[in-house]
């Protein structure tokens, strides 16, 4: 059973090598041995260049040109006007005083969303990971339960919660059944903002719980035994052993979830559509609506806004790179 | 200072018993070594004493007080782990101080004790480094230091030297012995290395499959192993064993015939054995005499000449391997035939159940 299998595998390898031998040799003769690597990279370079790198360059051109024309040749050069338009406010703390008030409302919404969503999500993820790391019954089941929403499409997540939270949804039906007054969960501005945070925590915390759980399990158990012999209280074990040793993982989790929160769009767009008014409009939705969904389509403004957002993401990404590198160095 | 008593100590894991009712008394100031092959339960026993494993049944007493229910730290013990288990994010100083901070020791008292331990273990030069920046031997010293600063009643060592290279192991062996002499504490030391057990212990406890095989001083175990397992485990290279049958009982011993029909005299008590009973004869490699006119004919297969001593690996006519240890050098060459003599007073005799017959004359080593 085993031996014929090995032989078949060997035959497969030999055939594959023979098959690739002459094209490889031909390619080496054609471009030289040292340049064959480029040949292998070419397909990816083409795709990356065409669909990622080129749009980034084009984005700069759109950001510095005006009008609603889509072809760059028909767009007049306006310099930094799109940026100054976005950034002109008499009072930066009051979006109503800004020329692009929706942009600033989206910026503030995104700011609050990032702080609250990331803060609470990490707190919940940490507590969940700590519990799941202990010897509880049905450990595997609970780990699965918390991870399950991560596997759902964001649209499905939003539709599930919309079905629960809408005016005639199941939540209000339950409240009415208990004799309580129904609430307009997605129509009241404050409740709507609460629910977009809640739903995105629900949808993503399983992922971060899993990373934190892995971080907890990477802490060697003999260190805990040594702490036990050293007479450390449970609180001191947590604050002096667990947290410091979990810190590298925690930094990665914080930065990753920050980046994701800044980019939040899909669940919220489907759940509230950014409303009521612009109460739950985040920066990415503003860019989408300015550039594509509204008439006239202000590509320049959207491109400028996305560059501003990219700067924020760039800072966060650099932080993440530093964090993961220092973690790898341990 | 402390006496540790184990009374019918039992450890059950789901569906299997790891420790089968162990009784043991470790006296104040004693250096006691648990030794045995892997899986014999020696580490489990140590961890039960430490409080890291729950005691399923029986009683553990330290200075006469039952401590089964007490937390590890409350038992007044300190442990040195095989993996060192240093706190990786703390400096050496913080590692040493952690246990004292836990019990809210005054700052200058911590400082005094940590500095004293650092001086004793010669780790003062790297107090501000982290464990990762230390070599294996340095980490080991820090781990011992962490135990020392707590001024425990009993030190527990769980195979502390097994991660060190051979040379460093010998050095650290000496240092731990020296530490014991200086502090005078009761120490319990787990190892699978019988050389460590022989060189360090006041008292050796040989364990196998969760039961005690024998308790005694190193030379007791070497001279009077209680059974074939202990005889084979203590001593390096291993004792040679031969199958034989008791031919007759005589004054001053028994006479047995081996598989080749040769008569072998053994100076052991003939009381617990009848003529015709199958027995196992054991002779340590260092007690075999090779090159004389009498004895078993063997073929020498391999020779290790170390200069000061020689090891001859032989095979007898039945194909049984026989190891001979000879002090000094030998002229015998590999491939040659030779005769190996079994001196009567050096022979151990084990009954079919493995238990040893009492030796009547213990030669020069007594």
B133 touches chain A (CB under 8 A): no
Q: What's residue A328's pLDDT?
A: 59
CATH 3.40.50.300 correct for B4-232: yes
Domain for residue A205, yes or no?
yes
- Comparing A33 with B239, the larger pLDDT belongs to B239
Whether cis (ω within 30° of 0) applies to the bond prior to A296 is yes
pLDDT higher than 60, residue A330: no
Residues A18 and A160 occupy one common structural domain: no
Q: What's residue A291's pLDDT?
A: 84
Structure tokens at B230: 């202990």
pLDDT tens, B268-309? Answer: 888 888 888 899 999 999 999 888 788 888 899 999 999 999
| Complex prediction ipTM | 0.83
B153 touches chain A (CB under 8 A): no
**Min CA distance, B102 vs chain A (Å)?**
5
Residues A291 and A188 occupy one common structural domain: yes
**Min CA distance, B214 vs chain A (Å)?**
29
Domains B4-232 and B238-365 share a fold: no
C-beta contacts of A124-127 below 8 A and 24+ residues apart = A124/A201, A124/A205, A125/A205, A125/A208, A125/A209, A125/A212, A125/A253, A126/A212, A126/A250
Least confidently predicted of A215-219, B3-7, B293-297: B293-297
pLDDT tens, B302-356? Answer: 999 999 999 999 998 888 899 999 998 888 888 888 888 888 888 999 998 889 9
Residue B68 backbone phi and psi in degrees, to 5: -45, -45
Could you tell me the residue ranges of all domains in chain B? Answer: 4-232, 238-365
**Min CA distance, A244 vs chain B (Å)?**
7
**Min CA distance, B123 vs chain A (Å)?**
20
Q: What's residue A49's pLDDT?
A: 92
Q: Lay out the sheet containing B186-191: strands in order across.
A: B77-80, B154-158, B186-191, B31-35, B203-208, B211-216
Q: Place A329 in a pLDDT band, splitting at 50, 70 and 90.
A: low
Q: Place B365 in a pLDDT band, splitting at 50, 70 and 90.
A: very low
> Alpha-carbon distance A259 to A275, whole Å?
23
Residues A170 and A244 occupy one common structural domain: yes
B91 touches chain A (CB under 8 A): no
User: What domain range includes position A101?
Assistant: 82-329
Domain for residue A77, yes or no?
no
Residues A11 and A95 occupy one common structural domain: no
Q: Place B363 in a pLDDT band, splitting at 50, 70 and 90.
A: low
Domain for residue A19, yes or no?
yes
**Min CA distance, A104 vs chain B (Å)?**
43
Q: Place A227 in a pLDDT band, splitting at 50, 70 and 90.
A: very high
A231 touches chain B (CB under 8 A): yes
A223 to B87: CB separation less than 8 angstroms, yes or no? yes
pLDDT higher than 80, residue A1: no
Task: Evaluate whether B102 touches B149 at the Cβ level (below 8 Å).
Answer: no
Residues of B in contact with A241 (CB under 8 A): 87
CB atoms < 10 A from the CB of A14, how many? 10
Q: How many domains, in total, are found in chain A?
A: 2
pLDDT tens, B99-133? Answer: 888 888 888 989 999 998 898 888 888 899 999 98
> Alpha-carbon distance B156 to B74, whole Å?
14
- Comparing B295 with B173, the larger pLDDT belongs to B173
Mean pLDDT of chain B: 89
pLDDT tens, A289-315? Answer: 888 888 888 888 888 899 989 998 899
Question: In the predicted model, what is the mean pLDDT of residues B252-271?
Answer: 84
Domain for residue A45, yes or no?
no
Nearest neighbour of B102 by CB, restricted to A222, A230, A330: A230
pLDDT tens, A154-178? Answer: 999 999 999 998 888 888 888 888 8
Mean pLDDT of chain A: 86
Helix (H, G, I), strand (E, B) or coil at A198: helix
Question: In the predicted model, what is the mean pLDDT of residues A178-196?
Answer: 87
CB pairs under 8 A between A and B: 60
Residues A9 and A144 occupy one common structural domain: no
Task: Evaluate whether B302 touches B283 at the Cβ level (below 8 Å).
Answer: no
pLDDT higher than 90, residue A40: no
Residues of B in contact with A245 (CB under 8 A): 88-89
Residues A95 and A233 occupy one common structural domain: yes
Residues A187 and A272 occupy one common structural domain: yes
Q: What's residue B1's pLDDT?
A: 64
Q: Which helix (H) or strand (E) covers residue B228, if one does?
A: helix B228-233
CATH topology of domain B238-365: OB fold (Dihydrolipoamide Acetyltransferase, E2P) (2.40.50)
pLDDT tens, B189-214? Answer: 999 988 899 999 999 999 999 899 99
Residue of A135, A230, A241, A247 to mutate when probing chain B, most B C-beta within 10 A: A230
Domain for residue A233, yes or no?
yes
B150 touches chain A (CB under 8 A): yes
Q: Lay out the sheet containing B321-327: strands in order across.
A: B289-290, B337-341, B296-305, B309-316, B321-327
Q: Place B366 in a pLDDT band, splitting at 50, 70 and 90.
A: very low
A79 touches chain B (CB under 8 A): no
């Amino acid at each position: 059973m085993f031996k014929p299998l090995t032989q078949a595998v060997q035959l497969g390898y030999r055939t594959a090598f023979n098959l690739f031998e002459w094209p490889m040799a031909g390619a080496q003769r054609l471009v030289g041995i040292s340049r064959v690597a480029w040949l292998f990279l070419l397909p990816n370079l083409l795709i990356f260049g065409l669909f990622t790198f080129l749009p980034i360059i084009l984005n700069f051109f759109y950001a510095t040109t005006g009008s609603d024309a889509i072809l760059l040749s028909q767009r007049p050069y306006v310099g930094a006007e799109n940026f100054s338009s976005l950034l002109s406010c008499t009072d930066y703390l009051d979006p109503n005083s800004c020329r692009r008030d929706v942009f600033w409302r989206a910026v503030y919404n995104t700011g609050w969303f990032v702080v609250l969503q990331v803060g609470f999500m990490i707190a919940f993820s940490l507590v969940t990971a700590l519990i799941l790391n202990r010897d509880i019954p049905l450990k595997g089941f609970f780990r699965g339960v918390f991870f399950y929403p991560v596997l759902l499409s964001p649209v499905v997540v939003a539709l599930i919660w919309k079905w629960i939270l809408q005016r005639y949804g199941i939540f209000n039906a339950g409240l009415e059944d208990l004799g309580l007054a129904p609430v307009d969960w997605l129509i009241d501005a404050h409740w709507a903002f609460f629910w977009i945070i809640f739903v995105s925590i629900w949808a993503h915390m399983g992922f971060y719980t899993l990373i934190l759980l892995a971080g907890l399990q990477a802490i060697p158990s003999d260190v805990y035994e040594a702490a036990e012999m050293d007479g450390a209280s449970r609180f001191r074990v947590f604050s002096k052993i667990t947290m410091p040793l979990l810190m590298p993982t925690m930094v990665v989790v914080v930065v990753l979830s920050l980046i994701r929160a800044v980019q939040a769009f899909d669940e919220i767009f489907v759940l509230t559509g950014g409303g009521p008014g612009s109460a739950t409009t985040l920066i990415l939705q503003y860019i989408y609506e300015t550039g594509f969904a509204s008439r006239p389509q202000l590509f320049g403004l959207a491109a400028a806004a996305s560059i501003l957002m990219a700067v924020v993401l760039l800072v966060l990404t650099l932080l993440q790179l530093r964090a993961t590198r220092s973690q790898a160095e341990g | 200072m402390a006496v540790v008593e184990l009374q019918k100590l039992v450890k059950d894991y789901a569906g299997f018993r790891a420790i089968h009712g162990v009784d043991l008394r470790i006296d104040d100031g004693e250096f006691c070594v648990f030794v045995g092959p892997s899986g014999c339960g020696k580490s489990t026993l140590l961890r039960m004493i430490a409080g890291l494993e729950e005691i399923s049944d029986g009683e553990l007493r330290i200075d006469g007080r039952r401590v089964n229910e007490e937390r590890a730290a409350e038992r007044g013990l300190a442990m040195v782990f095989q993996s060192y288990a240093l706190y990786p994010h703390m400096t050496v100083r913080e590692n040493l101080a952690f246990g004292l901070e836990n019990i809210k020791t005054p700052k200058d008292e911590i400082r005094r004790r940590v500095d004293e331990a650092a001086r004793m273990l010669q780790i003062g030069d790297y107090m501000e480094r982290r464990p990762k920046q230390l070599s294996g031997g340095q980490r080991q010293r820090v781990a011992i230091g962490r135990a020392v600063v707590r001024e425990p009643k009993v030190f527990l060592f769980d195979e502390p030297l097994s991660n060190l290279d051979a040379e460093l192991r010998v050095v650290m062996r000496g240092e731990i012995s020296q530490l014991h002499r200086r502090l005078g504490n009761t120490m319990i030391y787990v190892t699978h290395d019988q050389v460590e057990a022989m060189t360090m212990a006041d008292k050796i406890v040989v364990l196998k499959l969760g039961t005690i095989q024998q308790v005694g001083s190193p030379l007791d175990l070497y001279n009077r192993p209680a059974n074939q397992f202990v005889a084979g485990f203590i001593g390096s290279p291993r004792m040679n064993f031969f199958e034989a049958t008791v031919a007759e009982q005589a004054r001053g011993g028994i006479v047995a015939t081996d598989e080749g029909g040769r008569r072998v005299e053994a100076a052991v008590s003939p009381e617990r054995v009848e003529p015709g009973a199958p027995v196992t004869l054991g002779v340590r490699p260092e007690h075999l005499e090779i090159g004389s006119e009498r004895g078993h004919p063997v073929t020498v297969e391999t020779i290790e000449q170390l200069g000061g001593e020689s090891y001859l690996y032989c095979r007898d006519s039945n194909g049984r391997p026989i190891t001979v240890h000879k002090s000094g050098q030998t002229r015998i060459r590999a491939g040659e035939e030779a005769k190996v003599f079994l001196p009567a007073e050096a022979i151990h005799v084990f009954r079919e159940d493995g238990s040893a017959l009492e030796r009547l004359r213990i030669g020069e080593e007594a």
